[in-house]
Chains A and B, each alone.
Chain A
Amino acid sequence: MADTRPLSIPVLLGTTRKGRLSEYAARFMVGQIERRNGVKTELIDISKLPMPMDDAGEGIKDPSFSEKMVMADALVIVTPEYNHSFPGLLKHILDSCLKEYIHKASGIVGVSAGPFGGVRVIQDFLPVMRELGLVNIFWDMNFGNVSSVFDGSGNLVDQAFVPRADKFLNELIWMAKTLRYGRDNFELGS
């Protein structure tokens, strides 16, 4: 029987910092995903999530976030690079779930004020994704010098990011479909 469920690919905006330009990158990615048939998306802003600090891991699981991760087939994580790594609050939120991520696709969007486009945060992030059970694709998005990529209203200035996002999403959607088929049809050890 053909699977008629649309793919769900939410975009996680992984910083709470005031004035964050990562939000422009996240909204751009949402717009690119919305152009795809058979795929639904939404922006999940970690600054809007309940974030208790008196516990950690699955002890702070938010039911709404958990449900969104359950229904997700892939996850786009938009992360700035802070001191060569990812924001601690992004890790705090990601650690609140586990079963929700297993054998699902992920892609990382790195954002930086400098020229490197978050390559260091992406390198740092890969072992975390692996341990969470996410299967990360080998296309990344690198928004270096981000203040020149978007104008002050968040409109894309550098149109080269459109075909880059297209390649990134082609790979992510392929991986999401493949992993969904595997989760649904292939039993472990079969």
Chain B
Amino acid sequence: MNHHADKFVDPVKPEDLKHVNPSLGGVVKEMHACPKCGAVESRLSD
């Protein structure tokens, strides 16, 4: 998977809170794409 984007989002679930980046004031969601099949996935950045 290729990490090609970061998306800044506001935390909406309680479990999102542990991923809050204090300097950014929110959560960063990493976007990944598969070069072979085009599949995408996202995960919250630590």
Contact = CB atoms under 8 A, between A and B. Distances in A.
The DSSP consensus for interface residues of chain B is strand
Interface string A1-20: 00001000000000000000
Contacts, number: 49
Contacts of B3: 187-188
Contacts of A103: 4-5, 31, 33
A138 interface: no
Interface in A167-190: 180, 182-188
Classify chain B's interface size. 10 to 19
Contacts of B40: 70, 99-100, 102
B41 interface: yes
Interface of A: 5, 70-71, 73, 98-100, 102-103, 133, 180, 182-188
List 8 tightest A-B contacts by C-beta distance, closest first.
Answer: A184-B35, A99-B42, A183-B33, A102-B31, A183-B4, A102-B5, A99-B40, A188-B3
19 contacts: A5-B38, A70-B38, A70-B40, A71-B38, A99-B29, A99-B40, A100-B40, A102-B7, A102-B42, A103-B4, A103-B5, A103-B33, A133-B7, A183-B35, A184-B2, A186-B4, A187-B2, A187-B3, A188-B5
